[in-house]
Chain A
């Protein structure tokens, strides 16, 4: 596949020279995804998807265009190159654009990104893996009334990036995700929870652990109650922090948002914005990282970037565009979801440095507080306000879980949340691009019915 992608890319670059396109960047991708869903022991739709396409950025002086096609046929790719250039020609200048990245002397070696064992899984083997998790989950419930939903997805992706400034990069990765969601009907209640693992190697997935944890998570949801509205400490689990950091922190440290005042951290680069305990890096070179790669979405070498050190905001995340606009260096954070999106600033693997202490140790620090296992919110990027419904959370008294919560929110501003970190655990989990242990925040507003 690598040779096919490079061959198409080189033909398109030649074409761009012939068509007087000043700069062109060709991003080619071929992904094979296999997906299996099982509900109540019965297989739903089995999917095998080969998704191939090309995304082309062109520049005519400082005018930019982007176009993509869901095909690798040369005829369609040439059409797309011409459409991208047409768009660039009718567009206005982007004053701060300088150029697409140039050739790098070398890319870092990042191990653990491709596992032949995932790439070669047959549909029968996929089914076996998923049923191992389902059967473990089922065995925990004995003969109780349950609905078990299982999902397994693998992806094998080959990408190639070429540009007129000398970038010629290629990478091959695998990914796997296995999830079990179990719903238990008991004493008139419907209890529901889930467990998921993500990885780049088959050994990252432990089907029996997932099945067992999903059942344990479900059992503990019985008898939810509201709590008193007041300020309390809260432990945020890695699952909650995935949402908090991905949707609450990443947009704020995006150099493009920061430059135009669209970040609640505006003007705070170099300042103490968080507890001294908090050390966060963005690491595109993390071994086996879900979003690791030797290079980013425009061919800039991946690297490790300090975001928070001792609570100080050390760096923002940059693409080549935001770097040249602010006279700094790209941090290798031009992220592409696929060939259908142009590169945009985003995190790779956002890692929170773990400290000492298990989750139980964090519990022991709480006289009266909340353990939030799962919450979702879309924090306000401008103000940093979070008003998150706790979907799976518990009242904790004297370090012990008392009961699950009903219709309860935790409310806090991101700036306060970062400053009020008092303890960080060592129970690190990699949940897609967020790699974090549990964190204890000393005070948030709890609002309940």
Chain B
């Protein structure tokens, strides 16, 4: 791997690249899914190859290859340089990457390495969970339990001397249960996982996840459709995390800033909301799904205080965006695999807790909705709007938690949302997920405390 990376960078430099980098990757993916007791989608995959980038006068060329033979590496490096040359006369922002370099090795800490647990043992755990799901309650009509893991060895080198070797290990369990009665079918989804070994998916934690999924599906059978309108809402920690991710995290990815399409343009360093609001993206927290020591360009990563006391404080940078904006690189470059070029991404994104007691916040709110769960979301940075979906919720009537609600979509505008947040609770939870941007999907986490947002438009059902 080392030889392929160095050869790629040397070859690109020799034929004119002012900067070149290469990610040589070897990933083993394993997945099993048990659907109503039957194994489905059992997969083992081998992802092996190198992604080579060349920069000339602000023009990038990118070519990946799965052939790591020296001749192939040289040819692909040459193709990347050719692509950069062919477009360099059509680049308006001429820049070069001028940062420090890092040499290091880092490895996910594991107590029980994923490779040390046999396929049979992993399958046995899922079968046990499947049995428990169907014996949990007769109204559980369908189960889908998926376990997936990725073990990655990544070597990152660049022409500035960076030489990073990473070993990553990410297991994940997703439990999707459907409950059914005469009037409706409802689904509960719960997730478990971080970065580490099989200790992340221990039996007791897996059972708690199963219980969460089953309870949610069953409780939702008696839920009612929320009526659309404008409400004061309290988001639960999971949905707070989705908001942190969709409304702020994506808007802080600096590729939107160098292309100048972000609605936040001109607001860096400006106060956008109450000083009780702090949003961090921190890939350095050990054991979380979105954690890593060095990013996919080999930059040492660090916590990013995106919103600090209500002020838009800093962005998620790659080498390119930090060079073009003349700001410190915050180590946020990530790729789905060697097939893709690095772009700014989040790791673990969250609102920091405040000092409200949850029960007191519900009482103080008087009328509105508590909205919960990770139902997904999207953001349109150039339009300045985002939407996110709850999986369930509760009415707030006369300051008390009322009837359970089905999921709904909530929308907001990037520029005004922070000013609508007026209370954060003293509780906290992170939940695991996968973030898609363009064609690339990467593991991440998001979370926060219960949080009140005033006058939000809720689509209803």
Known A-B contacts A65-B42, A87-B119, A387-B461; A46 and B83 likewise in contact (beta carbons under 8 Å) = yes
Residues in B377-411 with C-beta less than 8 Å from chain A: 378, 380, 382-385, 387, 389, 406-409, 411
Q: Is B160 an interface residue (CB 8 A)?
A: no
Most chain A CB neighbours (cut-off 10 Å) among B79, B93, B123, B411: B411
- Any chain B CB within 8 A of the CB of A143? no
Q: Using a CB-CB cutoff of 8 Å, which residues 382-427 of chain A contact chain B?
A: 382-383, 385, 387-389, 391, 407-409, 411
Known: A45-B341, A46-B62. A385 touches B48 (CB 8 A): no
Task: Known A43-B59, A190-B382, A380-B407; judge A261-B86 contact (CB<8 A).
Answer: no
Task: Please determine whether A47 and B63 come into contact, CB atoms closer than 8 angstroms.
Answer: yes
A136 within 8 A of B: no
C-alpha gap A291/B120 in the complex (Å): 38
The reply to whether B79 and A48 form a contact with Cβ atoms under 8 Å apart is yes
Minimum CB distance partner of A392 in chain B:
B383
* Bound Cα distance A71, B461 (Å): 47
A44 CB within 8 Å of chain B: yes
A3-11, A294-302, A328-336, A441-449: which lies at the interface: A441-449
Closest approach, in angstroms, between the C-beta of A42 and any C-beta of chain B? Answer: 4
Report the minimal beta-carbon distance from B176 to chain A, rounded to whole angstroms: 10
Residues in B neighbouring A360, C-beta threshold 8 A: none
**Structural contact, A73 and B411, CB atoms closer than 8 A:** no
Could you tell me the distance in whole angstroms from the C-beta of B130 to the nearest C-beta in chain A?
Answer: 11
Q: What mask results when residues 272 to 305 of chain B are scored 1 for a CB within 8 Å of chain A, else 0? A: 0000000000000000000000000000000000
Q: Are B44 and A123 in contact (CB under 8 A)?
A: no
A91's nearest neighbour on chain B, judged by CB, is: B39
- Nearest chain B CB to A292's CB is how many angstroms away? 22
User: Closest residue to A50 on the B side, CB-wise?
Assistant: B65
Whether A41 sits at the interface, judged by CB under 8 Å, is: yes
The yes or no answer to A192 lying at the interface (CB within 8 A) is yes
Residue B367 interfacial (CB < 8 Å):
no
Query: Known contacts being A43-B91, A70-B49, is A183 close to B261, with CB within 8 Å?
Result: yes
B87 interfacial contact with A, CB 8 Å: yes
Nearest B residue to A93 via CB reads: B38
Q: Which of B36, B64, B458 has the most CB of A within 10 A?
A: B64
Find out whether the CB atom of A71 lies under 8 angstroms from the CB atom of B83: no
- Does chain A have a CB within 8 A of B459? yes
Docked pose: A67 CA to B46 CA in angstroms: 8
Interface assignment of B230: CB less than 8 Å from any CB of chain A: yes
CB of A46 within 8 A of CB of B84, answer yes
Residues on B with beta carbons closer than 8 Å to the beta carbon of A407: 385, 411-413, 457
Residue in B46, B64, B123, B178 whose beta carbon sits within 8 Å of that of A49 in the complex: B64
Stretch at the interface among A77-85, A101-109, A166-174, A429-437: A77-85
A354 to chain B, nearest CB (A): 29
- Distance of B23 from chain A, by nearest CB (Å): 13
B337 — which chain A residues lie within 8 A by C-beta?
A: 70
> Number of residue pairs across A and B with beta carbons under 8 Å?
232
Which of A87, A389, A445 is B385 in contact with, Cβ under 8 Å? A389
Q: Is B313 part of the contact surface with A, judged by Cβ < 8 Å?
A: no
The reply to whether A40 and B259 form a contact with Cβ atoms under 8 Å apart is: yes
- Binary CB contact string for chain B from 72 to 105 against chain A (1 if under 8 A, 0 otherwise): 0000000100111011001111000000000000
A389-B389 Cα distance, complex, nearest whole Å: 11
The residues of A that contact B41 with a CB separation of less than 8 Å are 66, 342
Query: Which of B184-192, B203-211, B348-356 is near enough to bind chain A?
Result: B184-192
Q: Chain B 10-49 against A: per-residue CB contact (8 Å), 1 yes, 0 no? A: 0000000000000000000000000111111111111111
Q: Contacts of B157 on A, CB cut-off 8 Å?
A: none
> Do A383 and B47 touch (CB < 8 A)?
no
Q: Is B260 an interface residue (CB 8 A)?
A: yes
A41–B92 touching, CB < 8 Å: yes
The interface residues of chain A lying within 8 Å CB-to-CB of B230 are 449
Residue B248 interfacial (CB < 8 Å): no
Give which listed residue, B37, B228, B376, contacts A447 with CB less than 8 A. Answer: B228
| Most chain A beta-carbon neighbours within 10 Å: one of B180, B341, B382, B455 | B382
Contact partner of A391 (CB less than 8 A), chosen from B63, B385, B459, is B385
Q: Which residues of A contact B323 (CB under 8 A)?
A: none
Contacts of A93 in B (CB 8 A): 38
Interface residues of A in 26-49 (CB under 8 A from B): 36, 38-49
Find out whether the CB atom of A409 lies under 8 angstroms from the CB atom of B411. Answer: yes
Give the residue name and chain of the B residue nearest to A378 (CB).
Answer: B376
Q: With a CB–CB cut-off of 8 A, which chain A residues contact B37?
A: 92
Chain B residue numbers with a CB within 8 Å of A190 are 263, 382-384
Tell me whether B63 and A40 are in contact (CB under 8 A): no
Q: Which residue of A lies closest to B41 (CB)?
A: A342
A48, A65, A408: the one contacting B83 at CB < 8 Å is: A48
* A88 smallest CB distance to B (angstroms): 8
Sorted from nearest, which 5 A-B pairs have the closest CB atoms? Answer: A447-B228, A387-B459, A409-B459, A42-B92, A45-B60
Q: Which residues of B contact A (CB under 8 A)?
A: 35-49, 53, 58-67, 79, 82-84, 86-87, 90-93, 119-120, 123, 127, 141-142, 178, 180, 184-187, 225, 228-230, 259-261, 263, 337, 339, 341, 375-376, 378, 380, 382-385, 387, 389, 406-409, 411-413, 455, 457-461
7 A-B Cβ contacts within 8 A?
A: A42-B93, A46-B83, A49-B64, A64-B42, A67-B46, A376-B378, A411-B461
Residues of A within 8 A of B (CB): 36, 38-53, 63-73, 76, 79-80, 83-84, 86-88, 90-95, 123-124, 127, 131, 147, 149, 181, 183, 190, 192, 229, 260-262, 340, 342, 376-378, 380, 382-383, 385, 387-389, 391, 407-409, 411, 445, 447-449
Q: A46-B62, A47-B341 are known; give 15 further A-B pairs, CB within 8 A.
A: A41-B92, A43-B90, A45-B62, A48-B61, A49-B64, A51-B339, A87-B42, A93-B38, A95-B38, A149-B259, A192-B380, A261-B178, A383-B406, A383-B461, A449-B457
